[in-house]
């Protein structure tokens, strides 16, 4: 078996908690198979970028590189999170078109290529992840790297016209052609890429999801929906009831039902709309008032980016307003917490919650939805309210699917979930748990890597 080399911006280093689905997923995948994980150290240094660090644990060798303040500003906070992130989440209104950050993004990708190329062997399998590193494979090829390279996009692929609104889009997305396999979260994302490549990238369909590229090569484009470590999450959840944080939360509810949301504090997650949908539920179903507490966990994310800071201010205002409007002296309807929790605790919270609320405006997959399902007590499962605009909706048909912009629809879903009889809850949960068990993180990893191995190596 060839050595696996995973490359991603975010690396879950030993001893650090891995918030964010990419790091959570890759950690589980690499723990099972072993290999090299290469990426940003997460450190911002004063001097030049590029200093490498090494660590090893449980069969994983970690090689990470530091980035200078200027490079982090341009590559991560700038082009990745103020240009590509909104573009890929269908938010043209938030896209920053600054040229300087684009140059920084290409500079850092070239640095990744310079540092990674000497570590690679001819028979390695390289798997590059996400929008931070779109040009990397092409830069590795320029440096003589000939081994198989696959790419997986964790976020949505927008429609062709949205993608084409980015200046220099053909250079950026055309760089993806340097891979041997392109993976997306859902078939709809994969199809939107094929459509972009046909309309703007000089490619033609070559059957069975393949594209014929302008240079005559064929490239497979396919969906590989990411999963979770289902067994481990279910075990954590079953054992979590005795954890002090879980016991304290249970005691604090005073016999009321719990609804839970867990999201990075990100505008793609639809938190203002969710809070307003909850408020609409309390207005339209006054008989439910005082019977349910909604806990929203939202650790601060990308706090140096202006749009994220504004969102934080906005949410504090909305949360205060909702509680001011609906709270009683002995009941606070909305608890809003900016702390990060480990999975050992989080799974206990999920299991205690009668309702899981996952209503992003757009999401590549959303692992929280799958973790909520895997954490339930099979004898008495909760109900998942899920946005039809999350990648997870393609698999979790047993959820109450909602349009996250439709506040009345979200309000109705809260009411329906709170009143749902046990038989229907079990039926819906069974239908969701089957794909969550079948398409777990190990199946995702094996599925992508087998498909990459099956592609004939590109003749270069
Ligand atoms: O690394 P950060 O900037 O702190 O952000 C965390 C991660 O957010 C995004 O996660 C995506 O990947 C998940 C797993 O496939 C998926 O379920 C979710 O829908 C996506 O939003 C981002 O794509 C990652 O690169 C970040 O590490
Ligand atoms: O306090 C928290 C909040 C989130 N997460 C984890 O972060 C990941 C979020 O992944 P998801 O795919 O839902 O969204 P992303 O943040 O990657 O966009 C999930 O595994 C969560 O359990 C966590 O460990 N602690």
Pocket test for ligand 1, best of 39, 225, 308, 364 (most atoms within 8 A of CB): 364
Token pair for 236: 């954590």
CB-ligand 2 contact for 367 (6 Å cutoff): yes
Distance of CA 164 to the CA centre of its chain: 23
241/120 Cα distance (integer angstroms): 45
> What are 163-172's contacts with CB under 8 Å, separation 24+?
163/87, 163/196, 163/200, 164/196, 164/199, 164/200, 165/87, 165/92, 165/95, 166/83, 166/87, 166/95, 167/97, 167/99, 167/102, 168/102, 169/200, 170/200, 170/201, 172/134, 172/135
Q: Are 383 and 356 in contact (CB under 8 A)?
A: yes
Q: Are 11 and 56 in contact (CB under 8 A)?
A: no
Pocket test for ligand 1, best of 8, 16, 22, 266 (most atoms within 8 A of CB): 22
197/177 Cα distance (integer angstroms): 10
Q: How far is the CA of 340 from the centre of ligand 2 (A)?
A: 9
Catalytic residue among 154, 179, 210, 326: 154
CB-ligand 2 contact for 345 (6 Å cutoff): no
455/412 Cα distance (integer angstroms): 47
Q: How far is the CA of 150 from the centre of ligand 1 (A)?
A: 18
Q: Which atom of ligand 1 is nearest to the CA of 81?
A: 3
Instruction: Delineate the domains of the chain, giving CATH numbers in brackets.
Output: 4-227+441-454 (3.40.50.2000), 230-438 (3.40.50.2000)
Alpha-carbon distance values, 418 to 50, 226, 294, 359 (Å): 52, 29, 12, 17
Residue 15 confidence (pLDDT): 82
Give CA angle at 66 (449, 69), nearest 5°.
Answer: 125
What residues pair up with 299 in beta bridges, in sequence order?
none
177/215 Cα distance (integer angstroms): 10
What is the residue-level pLDDT of the chain in tens, covering all 460 positions?
Answer: 889 999 999 999 988 875 577 888 888 788 888 999 999 999 999 988 899 999 999 899 999 999 999 999 999 999 999 999 999 999 999 999 999 999 999 999 999 999 999 999 999 999 999 999 999 999 999 999 999 999 999 999 999 999 999 999 999 999 999 999 999 999 999 999 999 999 999 999 999 999 999 999 999 999 999 999 999 999 999 999 999 999 999 999 999 999 999 999 999 999 999 999 999 999 999 999 999 999 999 999 999 999 999 999 999 999 999 999 999 999 999 999 999 999 999 999 999 999 999 999 999 999 999 999 999 999 999 999 999 999 999 999 999 999 999 999 999 999 999 999 999 999 999 999 999 999 999 999 999 999 999 988 764 4
Token pair for 320: 């205060």
CB-ligand 1 contact for 277 (6 Å cutoff): no
437/229 Cα distance (integer angstroms): 9
CB-ligand 2 contact for 368 (6 Å cutoff): yes
363 is catalytic: yes
343-352 vs 367-374: helix crossing angle, rounded to 10: 70
Q: How far is the CA of 258 from the centre of ligand 1 (A)?
A: 26
What residues pair up with 40 in beta bridges, in sequence order?
65
Which tens digits make up the pLDDT trace of 70-87? 999 999 999 999 999 999
Instruction: Check the CA dihedral 34-447-190-117 and report its sign.
Output: positive
Stated pTM of the model = 0.98
Alpha helices in 183-229 (DSSP H): 187-200
CB-ligand 1 contact for 10 (6 Å cutoff): yes
Token pair for 208: 């069975």
Which tens digits make up the pLDDT trace of 179-227? 999 999 999 999 999 999 999 999 999 999 999 999 999 999 999 999 9
Alpha-carbon distance values, 130 to 39, 215, 229, 250, 374 (Å): 12, 24, 20, 38, 25
Q: Are 263 and 271 in contact (CB under 8 A)?
A: yes
CB-ligand 2 contact for 264 (6 Å cutoff): yes
* Of 179, 121, 186, residue with least CA distance to 150: 179
CB-ligand 2 contact for 20 (6 Å cutoff): yes
Which residue's entry shows tokens 């911006």?
9
Residue nearest to atom 13 of ligand 1 (CA): 21
Catalytic residue among 96, 263, 266, 363: 363
343 is catalytic: no
């Amino acid at each position: 078996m060839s050595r696996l080399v995973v490359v991603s911006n975010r690396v879950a280093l030993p001893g650090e908690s891995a918030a964010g689905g990419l790091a959570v997923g890759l950690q589980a995948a690499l723990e099972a198979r072993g290999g090299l994980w290469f990426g940003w150290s997460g450190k911002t240094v004063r001097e030049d970028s590029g200093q490498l660090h090494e660590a090893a644990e449980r069969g994983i060798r970690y090689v990470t590189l530091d980035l200078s303040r200027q490079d982090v500003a341009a590559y991560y906070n700038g082009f990745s999170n103020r240009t590509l992130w909104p573009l890929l989440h269908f938010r043209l209104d938030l896209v920053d078109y600054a040229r300087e950050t684009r140059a920084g993004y290409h500079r850092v990708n070239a640095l990744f290529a310079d540092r990674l190329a000497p570590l690679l062997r001819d028979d390695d399998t390289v798997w590059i992840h996400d929008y931070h590193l779109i040009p990397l494979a092409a830069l590795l090829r320029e440096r003589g790297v000939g081994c198989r390279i696959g790419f997986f996009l964790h976020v949505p692929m927008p429609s062709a016209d949205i993608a084409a609104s980015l200046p220099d889009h053909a250079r950026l997305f055309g760089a993806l052609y340097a891979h041997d396999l392109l993976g997306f979260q859902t078939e709809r994302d994969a199809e939107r890429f094929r459509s972009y490549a046909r309309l703007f990238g000089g490619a033609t369909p070559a059957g069975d999801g393949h594209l014929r590229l302008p240079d005559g090569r064929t490239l497979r484009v396919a969906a590989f929906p990411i999963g979770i470590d289902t067994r481990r999450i279910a075990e954590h959840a079953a054992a979590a009831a005795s954890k002090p944080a879980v016991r304290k939360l249970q005691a604090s509810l005073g016999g009321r039902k719990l609804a839970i949301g867990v999201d990075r504090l990100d505008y793609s997650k639809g938190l203002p709309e969710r809070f307003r949908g909850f408020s609409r539920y309390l207005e339209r179903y006054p008989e439910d008032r005082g019977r349910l507490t909604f806990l929203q966990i939202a650790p601060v994310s990308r706090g140096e980016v202006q749009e994220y800071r504004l969102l934080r201010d906005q949410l504090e205002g909305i949360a205060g307003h909702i509680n001011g409007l609906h709270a009683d002296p002995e009941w606070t309807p909305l608890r809003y917490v900016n702390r990060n929790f480990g999975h050992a605790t989080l799974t206990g919270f999920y299991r205690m919650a009668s309702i899981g609320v996952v209503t992003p405006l757009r999401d590549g997959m959303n692992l929280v939805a799958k973790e909520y399902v895997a954490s339930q007590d099979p004898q008495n499962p909760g109900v998942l309210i899920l946005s039809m605009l999350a990648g997870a909706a393609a698999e979790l048909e047993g959820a109450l699917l909602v349009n996250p912009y439709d506040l009345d629809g979200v309000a109705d879903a809260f009411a329906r979930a709170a009143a749902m009889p046990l038989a229907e809850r079990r039926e819906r949960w069974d239908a969701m748990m089957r794909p969550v068990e079948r398409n777990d993180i190990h199946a995702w990893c094996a599925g992508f890597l087998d498909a990459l191995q099956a592609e004939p190596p590109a003749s270069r």
